[in-house]
Chains A and B, each alone.
Chain A
Amino acid sequence: MNKSVRLAQIYDIMKEKLDNGGDVIFNPHGISMLPILRNDGDRVVIRKKDGRLDKHDMAFFRRDNGQFVLHRVIKVNSDSYDMCGDNQSYIEKNVREDQIIAYVTGIYRGDKYISCDNKQYLLYVKIWTKGRFIRKIRDKTKGLLRKIKQKISKSKP
């Protein structure tokens, strides 16, 4: 028996439940949604939304290369969305409506449930999404340091 299952393996079952109006819970992986989603056991509850997503919704969508992504809507366009992870500065533009699978309605951290309607959560979103420029500086500094390190290691005899 094995507990590790790839999302691609269970996507059909997941979609069936969502299409019938049910909720699905799973463990997201990765660090792009830190600090709100930790990679050590946090679970998200997702549901299909009637109508379009709203700005700041956490969207679960699928890229054209098949990759599943859980990022935040930072802009609602006329027929698409711009997305960005809470721990990222890069904006993924024009994610189409047909790529959207569901949105996050709540998070389980251990036994604690955090609803996405929770006032503290909404305050976090408001503050955190405004800090993208800080993450942009962080990412650019990291890139610059990497380049300097590469130059130094190349110049060594």
Chain B
Amino acid sequence: MKIKSGYLLREVAGSFVVVPVGEETLDFSGVITLNESGAQLWKKLEKGMSKDDVVKEMLSEYDAPEDVIRKDVDEFIEKLTGADLLE
């Protein structure tokens, strides 16, 4: 599982913005904002990590039970899949 190429994650004034980037064009009409944990998930998926590995890493980074983290990761992946952002 990996984020499709052609997207740029940038931190802007405390929030994170994902922007589709063409070679010559920056299209803000498809812009997505993420909170900090969303951005962390994005970075992990960008590297092509598996869902289980993402959950494992999130468990070591966040003080939350595994079922809560797994549910959040599932929801995030579902949203990215719905927006056709995953390979």
Contacts and interface: CB of A to CB of B under 8 A. Distances in A.
B26 A3 contact: no
B17 interface: yes
A2 B33 contact: yes
Interface string B35-65: 0001000000000000000000000000000
A124 interface: no
Interface stretch (A10-18, A76-84, A114-122, A140-148): A10-18
Contacts of B32: 1-3
A3 B83 CA distance: 11
Given A1-B79, A5-B17, A22-B24, A10 B31 contact: yes
Contacts of A54: none
Contacts of B12: 9-10, 12-13
Given A13-B10, A13-B19, A25 B31 contact: no
Contact of A13 (B17, B29, B33, B79): B17
Contacts, number: 57
Looking at chain A, what size class is its interface with the partner chain?
Answer: 10 to 19
* Category for how many chain B residues contact A: 10 to 19
Contact of B26 (A2, A5, A14): A14
Given A10-B12, A12-B12, A13-B12, A5 B33 contact: yes
B5 interface: no
Contacts of B81: none
A27 interface: yes
B28 A1 contact: no
A13 B27 CA distance: 11
A76 B73 CA distance: 54
Interface of A: 1-5, 9-10, 12-14, 17, 22-27, 43, 45
Interface of B: 10, 12-13, 15, 17, 19, 24-29, 31-34, 38, 79, 83
In the A-B complex, the 8 residue pairs with the smallest Cβ-Cβ separation, listed nearest first, are A26-B28, A17-B26, A25-B27, A23-B25, A2-B33, A43-B29, A24-B26, A9-B12
Given A2-B33, A4-B33, A27-B28, 18 more contacts: A1-B32, A1-B83, A3-B31, A3-B33, A5-B28, A9-B15, A9-B33, A10-B28, A13-B12, A13-B17, A13-B26, A22-B26, A24-B26, A24-B27, A25-B26, A25-B27, A26-B27, A26-B28
